[in-house]
A and B are shown apart, each in its own frame.
Chain A
Amino acid sequence: MTAPTAPSTKINDDTGHDLKFQLIDKALKKCQFQQDALIEVLHTAQETFGHLDEEILDYVSLQLKLPPSWVYGVATFYNFFTLDPQGEHVCVVCLGTACYVKGAGEIVTRLEEEFSIKAGATTEDGNLSLLTARCLGNCSLAPMLTLDGEVHGKQTAESVIAALKAKTTQKAALEEEKV
């Protein structure tokens, strides 16, 4: 196993990486390195890095003086924490009861077909992660979903696909411009 590396001693050409670890340090200090605050620290890490890889988990385990398997167990228990990086765009389809009876299941199936991924996975090009949620509490907007955190209500498979295509082509166009 790689030895846990403190950000200060880390040789890293990616300074953003160090900055991100500093955010974790801040969260650790805020909770006074209390072991009970593991979930809070993981929340911070997840928000900062977008996922929790081995290096991060190892670091948190070392700092909180918790066994690595304990930290890994907690990180994999909760839906919010992901061990793999997320896609450029994240689409979360609500599968709560109200959305389900209004056809959210169909939307997921169509998206899976359209982008050739299973719900919960990220496209190979890293462009899109398709996730599902167990009720986001916007039942009056059923079927609803979030696109990069933005709430979209009363959707159809067509409307989502169009919105997602717009997002992905937008990016392609921007890149072309740069070239």
Chain B
Amino acid sequence: MPVITLTINDELVSARSGQSILEACRDHDIQLPTLCYLDGLSARGGCRLCLVDVAGSPRLLPACTTEALENMVVTTHNEKIDRYRRMILELTFAERNHTCAVCVSNENCELQSLAAELGMDHVRYDYLNPELNLDTSHERYGVDHNRCLLCLRCVRVCDEVEGAHTWDVMGRGVESRVITDLNRPWGDSESCTDCGKCVEVCPTGALFDKGSSVAEMKKEASFLRRILDGREKRQWQR
């Protein structure tokens, strides 16, 4: 595969042609915060945390959906980008009811740890406190919309990897919500295969194993790369 060279944070790095800026960064251990991106799923560009500055572009670009190109000059961190990332996290926290202290994913949550990492220590905007429910109709799993970020990893993993497309989104704007089938209780879903991939890839406590209490829910999304490599490259690892 042809190799290209680009500059990231004043350093020349090489990348495979067709790779995204984010993939190039991760290959060179350059840290970029992400929430909606997950290795193995299609990139979406929705959480806006991986925005980077690309010389010549009037706008900040999401590293996950922007292809790395020859001679590109990329800056992943500066005062403005870091501030914007914190503000975006503030908005994310303000949107739903993320009460870390009583969440099943406390201490194992990507949102929680990103906030700490990026120094987002308080939210200046009004908490919207939406009225949202908890669906525990499924035999093994539950969905708590209070903790959902609308990253749509569940929707994508269900469609792209499991092939069931049980999940999708209803409504729009701040009223958007993930749904199963025709917005029926998850437990009634005919398309759901109960595989649990959605639960494992969910970055917060929105999807969880039933029975887990505060701080008990631990997730492992690396299975995705393993099974995808196994499937695509026929490299099953045992």
Q: Report the minimal beta-carbon distance from B192 to chain A, rounded to whole angstroms.
A: 10
Q: How large is the interface on A (under 10, 10 to 19, 20 to 34, 35 or more residues)?
A: 10 to 19
Give Cα A72 to B189, complex, Å: 14
Tell whether, in the assembled complex, residue A77 and residue B172 are in contact, meaning their CB atoms are under 8 Å apart: yes
Tell whether, in the assembled complex, residue B168 and residue A70 are in contact, meaning their CB atoms are under 8 Å apart: yes
Tell whether, in the assembled complex, residue B172 and residue A72 are in contact, meaning their CB atoms are under 8 Å apart: no
A16 adjacent to chain B (CB < 8 Å): no
B171 adjacent to chain A (CB < 8 Å): yes
Give Cα A61 to B172, complex, Å: 20
A54 adjacent to chain B (CB < 8 Å): yes
In the complex formed, the residue of A with least CB distance to B175 is: A76
Give Cα A58 to B189, complex, Å: 13
Tell whether, in the assembled complex, residue A68 and residue B182 are in contact, meaning their CB atoms are under 8 Å apart: yes
Tell whether, in the assembled complex, residue B165 and residue A72 are in contact, meaning their CB atoms are under 8 Å apart: no
Would A70 and B182 be within 8 Å (CB), given that A1-B188, A76-B170, A77-B171 are in contact?
Answer: no
- Interface residues in B151-168 (C-beta closer than 8 Å to A): 159, 164-168
Q: How large is the interface on B (under 10, 10 to 19, 20 to 34, 35 or more residues)?
A: 20 to 34
Secondary structure call for the B interface: loop
- Interface residues in B223-237 (C-beta closer than 8 Å to A): none
Q: Report the minimal beta-carbon distance from A46 to chain B, rounded to whole angstroms.
A: 16
Tell whether, in the assembled complex, residue A1 and residue B190 are in contact, meaning their CB atoms are under 8 Å apart: yes
A54: which of B159, B182, B189 is its contact (CB, 8 Å)? B182
In the complex formed, the residue of B with least CB distance to A3 is: B190
Contact flags (1/0) for A60-71 with B, using CB distance below 8 Å? Answer: 010000011111
In the complex formed, the residue of B with least CB distance to A67 is: B165
In the complex formed, the residue of A with least CB distance to B159 is: A67
Would A73 and B182 be within 8 Å (CB), given that A1-B188, A67-B191, A68-B191 are in contact?
Answer: no
A73: which of B164, B170, B188, B190 is its contact (CB, 8 Å)? B170
A70: which of B165, B184, B189 is its contact (CB, 8 Å)? B165
B114 adjacent to chain A (CB < 8 Å): no
Tell whether, in the assembled complex, residue B170 and residue A72 are in contact, meaning their CB atoms are under 8 Å apart: yes
B43 adjacent to chain A (CB < 8 Å): no
B179: which of A1, A61, A69 is its contact (CB, 8 Å)? A69
- Interface residues in B169-187 (C-beta closer than 8 Å to A): 169-172, 179-184
Taking CB atoms, residues of chain A closer than 8 Å to B182 are 1, 54, 57-58, 61, 68-69, 71-72
Give Cα A41 to B149, complex, Å: 31
Tell whether, in the assembled complex, residue A73 and residue B169 are in contact, meaning their CB atoms are under 8 Å apart: yes
Would you mind naming 5 contact pairs between A and B with Cβ atoms under 8 Å apart? Answer: A54-B182, A58-B182, A72-B182, A73-B169, A77-B171
15 extra A-B contacts, CB within 8 A, seeds A54-B182, A69-B179, A77-B170: A1-B181, A1-B189, A58-B182, A67-B165, A67-B181, A68-B191, A71-B182, A72-B170, A72-B179, A72-B181, A72-B182, A72-B183, A73-B168, A73-B179, A77-B171
Chain B contacts to A: CB under 8 angstroms: 159, 164-172, 179-184, 188-191
